[in-house]
Structure 1
Amino acid sequence: MRRLLITGETSLAGRIHVQGSKNVFLHLAAASLLASRPVRLRNAPAITDTRVCVEIARALGAHAEVADAAMTTHAADLRTTEIPGGLGTLIRPTACFGAAVLARTGAVTFPFPGGDAFAERLIDRHLAAMQAVGAEIRVSDGFVHARARRLAGFTFDASTDGHGPSLGATISALLLGAMASGASRISGASVEPEVEHTVGLLRCLGVPVSWEGTSTLEVEGRPPANGATYTVPPDRMVAGTYAIAAAMTEGRIDLAGVALSDFPTGFLKVAATAGLDLAQVPHGIRATRSEPAPVEFETGPHPEYPTDLQPQLCALLTQAPGTSKVAERVYSRRATHIPGLASMGADIRAVGDHLTIVGPRTLSGATVRGTDIRAAAALVLAALAASGRTELAGVEHLYRGYENLPGTLRSLGAAVMEHSQEEL
């Protein structure tokens, strides 16, 4: 078992290039299975989830490889319609891959999705989209079996009960609509960048997709006639994490390849109050610390404050004088970072979906475990600011979303070492 040993109280300084977006890439990789000609995704992140996407495509019979920071998929023929359970349970958007296979072949078997342990991966809206296009659904032993004699144009509402539009179901409906006969209409659609870029790739493949107003998508079913080369945008969650690291350590980090416009306005507003100063510079963004203050905010769909940057900001709020309050409106059980932060000296607690952080508090190194990507990232941030040494387990979660995190932090001056448990 790999662990990180982090010695804190060092101001981070330097320049790093922001990797391609994990979440955008995963959905583009699913969409690439619609095309019978090669699809090349440039700026693919060098993370474990990328390797899983390659293996899923290969298991289905497509040619897939990663070289020169790009994933190329050639799905001229899919020899099977089953996504293996050992692969599909490793990532979050498994249902989107299932939708792509169903759209391409008229049948699919796929496992319930995996990814982070803090949230149930509800796929009811994905299944509703499959039913809308004409599929019959059967669920057994943790697998979904879907089959459609004919894919017909459909209408579909991607909104959920109390949690805003479903990003994943919006993309599943897009992929199904691309291959359906006739026009499809997706109302209550998510406007997250993942959707924007999936629409962009489909257009490059020759599928007509347009927005009607701000929350309805129109898709004209047309099997992709083209191949495409598409560039994955920078990862706004990774950029936000390193920006918060600059504020946590009172340092200065230049983030190349990313712009302020890549962040949702909700993040920019809340983070500025919490003590993160972001300035646009010629090559990207410069992140430094400003005077921290307590904040009250809630997470929500784009362009509100993103849930995937909530744990990291909680780490920063431990240094803000006063009481901060956070309402988690996306994932009801996203409080997995609280035990680790508390063991390091943070005054942080949760009641239901509401978190309270009282600061400033002096953080001290401790032995902690990250149980998902963003909780582990929050503990890394706290360790960078803490006195003494922190031993972090669960680093495999970090590698699902962050390229070479230890090496990147060392390039900024952090004292970070990686060891196996046997070496400690």
Structure 2
Amino acid sequence: MKRVYVNGEQILKGSVKVSGSKNASIAIIAASLLVKGEVVLDNVPRVNDVQEMLELVRSIGAKYDWIDINQLAIDCSELNSTTIDYKLTQRLHASILLLGPLVGRFGECAISLPGNDNLGPRPIDLHLKGFKLKGIHADISNGQIIVNGRTNQDSAIYLDFPSVGATENLILNSVLGNGVTVIQGAAKDPEIVNMASFLTSMGAKISGAGTDTIKIKGVPQLKPVRYSIMPDRMEAGTFMIMAAANRGDVIISGVVNKHLKPVTAKLREAGAEVDEVDGAVQVKSTQRLQSLIVKATPYPGFPTDLQPIISAALTTAANTSIISEKVYKNRFQYIGELRRLGAKIKVEGNTAVITGVDRLLGSTVTANDTRGAAALLAAGLMAFGKTEIINAELLDNGYENWVEKVSSINGSVNIVN
């Protein structure tokens, strides 16, 4: 258990460079299973979730090596298993992304059901439905997801919800072979586009990534490449919101500006100044934020991963803010901890009503998930006095070098293991 002590009410100033995307890295590591040969990935963040994914692929015979601080080589030439044990899957929900490439390459896979994370159970019915529509057997038996079979037939899949994981899994399953797969109702997230671009650079035939209709024409094999991971838009958004909430002046560099449009729009609406140049944003705020109505929805809507952080920022905004969560029903677990700092928040179903207070007061709080931990960090930086965050190691799952980065913009944080 790691604890962090945050000294609040310090103006955030300076600059911070965003790391590579954790979510894109995990999906691209899964995609690497489809190619025989060494793939080299640049801009990979050294965060716990990425390391967990690497341990998963190593357990089935993949070899990997950190060539440089953020440069990773993966060789999946000699995979020796298509079964993954619960001891590994329980630590990372994204382990389900191994289904698509392993079935696509070997025609079978058995993965123990990933442990339910603190966002609550994430249904896998869309994944199974997609496999079945491709003519592949997919079922759950004795705590395992069992998928087997190959199909060269053309198939059309409609997703009832734009699930990122299901979209990625179905793309990964469809890359090798002879058939044509069309996914309608697909998720449009930039991380999916990044993964599809990686696959295309290896010889896959994919069109429509980033739209709600994606077409994949199977190919016999892929070739190894070197590829760079996109910037982490969730990290960028976190620092943007922190800067606005702390009446700061922070430059966030190494970003893709169009990925941040929902955050930029909401911060401007709240009264912060956001200046954009290619590859960077500067967030300045000299006064109390104004209240907002925020709906966390699938991309290109406001990201669910940033909903906790902007909620923390709005705890001291003028008037009343309304936050709606349309993706994860258990995303509001952090709110009880914000109340310990003096926040006034009521939750009804998937909606939180935040009445702004003049200031938060430092206290002891406990993090339950990565983004909730980031929300508590943001609140601690805003609060008067010292805030102690228990389970702060959760930040290491998704934020690379977060202590150094927060410190570089005048945030005062100290870790005690």
Please report the TM-score for the alignment, with normalisation by the length of structure 1: 0.93
For the 8 Å contact 2:151–2:179, the answer to whether it is kept is: no
* 1:228 equivalenced with 2:229 (yes/no): no
| Superposed counterparts of 1:221-370, under 5 Å | 221-263=218-260, 265-281=261-277, 284-289=280-285, 291=287, 292-370=289-367
Residues of 2 paired with 1:56 and 1:48: CA distance? 12
CA distance 1:148–1:419, shift in 2 (3 Å): same
CA distance 1:39–1:408, shift in 2 (3 Å): same
The residue number in structure 2 matching 1:195 is 192
The residue number in structure 2 matching 1:26 is 26
* 1:87 equivalenced with 2:111 (yes/no): no
| Superposed counterparts of 1:87-126, under 5 Å | 87-114=88-115, 116-126=117-127
Any idea what SS the aligned residue of 1:5 has? strand
CA distance 1:355–1:328, shift in 2 (3 Å): same
Q: Which amino acid in structure 2 is aligned with residue 44 of structure 1?
A: V
The residue number in structure 2 matching 1:46 is 46
Per-residue CA deviation, residues 29-70 of structure 1 (Å, 9 max, x unaligned), is 111111112222210011001111211111111112223112
* 1:144 equivalenced with 2:145 (yes/no): yes
Per-residue CA deviation, residues 138-164 of structure 1 (Å, 9 max, x unaligned), is 32332212211545442211232xxxx
* 1:67 equivalenced with 2:64 (yes/no): no
Any idea what SS the aligned residue of 1:267 has? helix
Residues of 1 paired with 2:198 and 2:256: CA distance? 21
Residues of 1 paired with 2:101 and 2:25: CA distance? 15
Relative to structure 2, which stretch is displaced further, 355-364 or 285-294?
A: 285-294
Per-residue CA deviation, residues 280-323 of structure 1 (Å, 9 max, x unaligned), is 24662112215521111211111111111111001111121101
The residue number in structure 1 matching 2:182 is 185
Any idea what SS the aligned residue of 2:403 has? helix
For the 8 Å contact 2:244–2:267, the answer to whether it is kept is: no
CA distance 1:235–1:315, shift in 2 (3 Å): same
CA distance 1:276–1:212, shift in 2 (3 Å): closer
- Deviation of 1:326 after TM superposition, in Å, equals 1.1
| Superposed counterparts of 1:145-160, under 5 Å | 145-148=146-149, 150=151, 152-160=153-161
* Structure 2 unaligned blocks of 5 or more: none
- Deviation of 1:114 after TM superposition, in Å, equals 4.1
Any idea what SS the aligned residue of 2:208 has? strand
Any idea what SS the aligned residue of 1:118 has? coil
CA distance 1:31–1:6, shift in 2 (3 Å): same
Q: Which amino acid in structure 2 is aligned with residue 124 of structure 1?
A: D
- Deviation of 1:111 after TM superposition, in Å, equals 2.1
Q: Which amino acid in structure 2 is aligned with residue 85 of structure 1?
A: Y
Residues of 1 paired with 2:280 and 2:38: CA distance? 31
Residues of 1 paired with 2:119 and 2:309: CA distance? 15
Equivalenced residue count is 415
- Deviation of 1:115 after TM superposition, in Å, equals 7.1
Any idea what SS the aligned residue of 2:4 has? strand
Any idea what SS the aligned residue of 2:388 has? strand
For the 8 Å contact 2:2–2:391, the answer to whether it is kept is: yes
Any idea what SS the aligned residue of 1:336 has? helix
For the 8 Å contact 1:133–1:180, the answer to whether it is kept is: no
Q: Which amino acid in structure 1 is aligned with residue 104 of structure 2?
A: A
RMSD: 1.8
Residues of 1 paired with 2:308 and 2:117: CA distance? 14
Residues of 1 paired with 2:352 and 2:209: CA distance? 37
Q: Which amino acid in structure 2 is aligned with residue 100 of structure 1?
A: P
For the 8 Å contact 2:317–2:357, the answer to whether it is kept is: yes
Any idea what SS the aligned residue of 2:397 has? coil
Residues of 2 paired with 1:397 and 1:110: CA distance? 24
For the 8 Å contact 1:376–1:398, the answer to whether it is kept is: yes
CA distance 1:194–1:213, shift in 2 (3 Å): closer
The residue number in structure 2 matching 1:407 is 404
Any idea what SS the aligned residue of 2:59 has? helix
CA distance 1:375–1:275, shift in 2 (3 Å): farther
The sequence identity of aligned pairs, in percent, is 32
* 1:36 equivalenced with 2:36 (yes/no): yes
CA distance 1:198–1:67, shift in 2 (3 Å): same
